[in-house]
Amino acid sequence: MPELPEVETVRLQLARKIVGKTIRSATVFHPKTVAFDPIFEKRLSGKTVSAIDRVGKLLIWGFQEDPHLFLLAHLKMTGQFFYVENGRTVTGGGHTYSSSKLTDTFPHRHTRTAFHFTDGSSLYFNDMRLFGYTKLADPGEAAHARSGYGPEYIDPNFDVRWFTTAVQKRSAPIKAILLDQALAAGLGNIYVDETLWRAKVHPVRLGKDVTNAEAKNLARYAKSVMLDSIEVGGTTFQNFTDTGGKHGNYSDHLKVFGKTGEPCPRCKTPIEKIRVAGRGTHVCPHCQR
DNA sequence: CGGATTGTTCTTCC
DNA sequence: CGGAAGAACAATCC
């Protein structure tokens, strides 16, 4: 369930730890995670990580020796990276599992791929539910993956007037529109509920009925909610830890997500849980219109 | 044990 | 062509 702030937190930590390091060997524990690439290990052997980029919730690794090779990494719901140095977990990030035993040693039951660097450190990708991936891509595939993401709310150049028009062209519920990564990237189920609550917009409202002022507020709060979360370590929910297993702090800032039945922080009306766009949705029926 | 969980992709329909 | 809606995916929790 990582959303953009969690993925950005992971990106920053990985950038610090593995950029400039050379992969001595890679190991595939589950073929699905590498899109059934039979020579994944071979293609990565001897490659030096040159950069770790992020588009929406997707991480894109580049390599010094081959500018036409990319590694696409998506955590989806339960993916996590853990970085191990001298046999100790130094940093990692993503979803954590309820069985705490699983976070101690690697590889474990949910470890899907491993990257061993020439300096003796290792990076493990764990993903219980197998939705995520770490797969190699050529420039065409990488470009295609990038093309699925619209501009980012946290980008200083995000065009609010364009966003407003785009939203008002659609007839879907505003929550579904905000979750569409192709329109604008970053919001997942948690931050979208938080954004809608802050903007006082009801999630079932249709895009075409959203006013200019409301659209402006939605863009503004999507940005601030995610930037604030990145600042405190990108933790939004019970199951996310930063790299190394530390829990982030953003869960303290949540106003509606997971607060069903609790009083709205603004008006004290109990928070309702409904279903919108096929997703569990938290809403204050009084102040969100 | 049925249902809910969630990010993305795919399919179907319009 | 593209939007909307819903299924599919996988494994676990409640």
pTM of the model: 0.90
Cα separation values, A154 from A5, A129, A160, A186, A226, Å: 10, 29, 11, 9, 7
Query: In Å, what is the separation between the CA of A253 and the C1' of C1?
Result: 42
What pLDDT sits at residue A72? 94
Average pLDDT over residues A179-202: 93
Residue nearest to nucleotide C8 (CA to C1'): A131
Query: In Å, what is the separation between the CA of A209 and the C1' of B11?
Result: 29
Task: Identify the bridge partners of residue A25 per DSSP, sorted by sequence position.
Answer: A116
The count of C-alpha atoms lying within 13 angstroms of the C-alpha of A17, restricted to the half-sphere facing its C-beta, is 26
Q: Kindly report the bases of strand B lying within 7 A of a protein C-beta atom.
A: 4-9
Single-letter code of the amino acid located at A170: R
Cα Dmax for chain A = 59
Q: Of A78, A80, A50, whose CA–CA distance to A65 is shortest? A: A50
Reported as a single tens digit per residue, the pLDDT across A6-30 is: 899 899 999 999 999 999 999 999 9
With a cut of 60, say whether residue A110 has pLDDT above it.
yes
With a cut of 50, say whether residue A99 has pLDDT above it.
no
Percent with pLDDT over 90 in chain A = 66
Cα separation values, A76 from A41, A66, A117, A213, A254, Å: 22, 27, 25, 32, 21
- Residues of A belonging to the active site: 2-3, 57, 279
Q: Of A46-50, A67-71, A98-102, A131-135, where does mean pLDDT reach its minimum?
A: A98-102
